Amino acid sequence: MANRVVLAYSGGLDTSVAISWIAKETGAEVVAVAIDLGQGGEDMDIVRQRALDCGAVESIVVDARDEFAEQYCLPTIQANGLYMDRYPLVSAISRPLIVKHLTEAAKAHGGTAVAHGCTGKGNDQVRFEVGFMNLAPDLDVIAPVRDYAWTREKAIDFAEENNIPITVTKKSPFSIDQNVWGRAVETGFLEDLWNAPTKDVYDYTEDPTVNFSAPDEVTISFEKGKPVAIDGRKVTVLEAIEELNRRAGAQGVGRLDVVEDRLVGIKSREIYEAPGAMALITAHQELEHVTLEREVGRYKRRIEERWTELVYDGLWFSPLKRALDAFVEETQQRVSGDVRMVMHGGHITVNGRRSDESLYDFNLATYDEGDSFDQSYAKGFVQIHGLSSKIASKRDLGL
């Protein structure tokens, strides 16, 4: 039996060409594995057949939409995962799931190597290969786009020379990655930082500057940090993301134009659309403000930044990431309740919060009748709180 290479197959140009290229250059059979992460836009049966038409000996499509939502998107919500306080890890959280299914396919189909279509400039090569190191270190890794300096033009020429059935042309301007959590767009004229995105860049969201639809008020309910209902109707995590993609997207929410720091050391300009992700993270953050004790909340914000960096940097399976997961999970035990917010014109405005786990005490907070806060405690508290600073200031002032 010939060696087998298990390829992370997207159905696009690079991975379609890679099937034939790997077979030709290595003599190995290629098993193509496509993962349905709710990316939409193309029938996965067509993707499966395309891989066979390109020369794969096996073509597998895995419906991982619920798994992705429950085991990858949900932890990102609970960790309020926003890289550089902006990017909700659209591509970063999908890569470890793809790695998981590729290693499983390699075991099931006798694969001795895995392959991906990433370039040497991006983060995804790291996310894939470090993931393989953790889950299947015995597998070899083939990265033809990176290791053989493929360009888009070279890939198209190879396809034409070897009669590979593709429909891509050299005029296509963008590189796009998408799933149910969001959509990432780069390259083309977007590489000039001064160029504004044109309307054809977007797909998940309406233009908030020309959207005259009525504001959309939504109530999102959580149990232990997990979204469980929208406007009182029970939903799964996947259903919550899908519904908010539609509703927030219709209001232009979730458009992000980001110059981000890549792991490899360069800056890149990315356009993201993540309406459901931004709506859910916004609501979750607000509920944490109500239910987390002050010091836990302060410390969690530090943990969130490090958690997000680890995920962005391809260290989903690392010991530190697992340890931080345990901390985040513990913090979610009281994060239950409802958040009401209005989505309109590209913005989210929270206007209501309620929770049986709330730490907000009306009688302590009010300035009206019924105030139960003993203000006589405050004078001594202020003196003790500022004492060390006062002593240092007297020294510095020569008093």
The catalytically annotated residue of 20, 91, 94, 175 is 175
The residue type at 244: L
Residue 16 annotated as binding site: yes
Residue 9 annotated as binding site: yes
Residue 345 annotated as binding site: no
Residue 260 annotated as binding site: yes
Residue 254 annotated as binding site: no
Residue 272 annotated as binding site: yes
Handedness of CA 249, 253, 313, 266 (dihedral sign): positive
C-alpha distances (whole Å) from 29 to each of 13, 33, 37, 110, 245 are 19, 13, 26, 10, 39
Residue 334 annotated as binding site: no
Residue 119 annotated as binding site: yes
The catalytically annotated residue of 4, 48, 65, 124 is 124
Sheet with 255-261, side-by-side order of all strands: 175-179, 182-186, 267-273, 255-261
Residue 393 annotated as binding site: no
Residue 305 annotated as binding site: no
Residue 282 annotated as binding site: no
Residue 220 in contact with residue 283, Cβ under 8 Å? yes
Residue 117 annotated as binding site: yes
Pair of tokens at residue 107: 């075991």
Residue 8 annotated as binding site: yes
Residue 258: how many CB atoms within 10 A of its CB?
A: 16
Residue 84 has phi, psi (to 5 degrees) of 55, 30
Residue 18 annotated as binding site: no
The catalytically annotated residue of 4, 14, 59, 247 is 14
The answer to whether residue 59 is catalytic is no
The answer to whether residue 313 is catalytic is no
The residue type at 156: I
How far, in Å, CA of 313 to CA of 321, rounded?
A: 11
The catalytically annotated residue of 4, 65, 95, 247 is 95
The answer to whether residue 175 is catalytic is yes
The answer to whether residue 221 is catalytic is no
Residue 123 annotated as binding site: yes
Residue 15 annotated as binding site: yes
Binding-site residues for ATP, in ranges, read 8-16, 117
Binding-site residues, in ranges, read 8-16, 87, 117, 119, 123-124, 127, 175, 260, 272
Catalytic residues: 14, 95, 124, 175
Binding-site residues for L-citrulline, in ranges, read 87, 123, 127, 175, 260, 272
Binding-site residues for L-aspartate, in ranges, read 119, 123-124
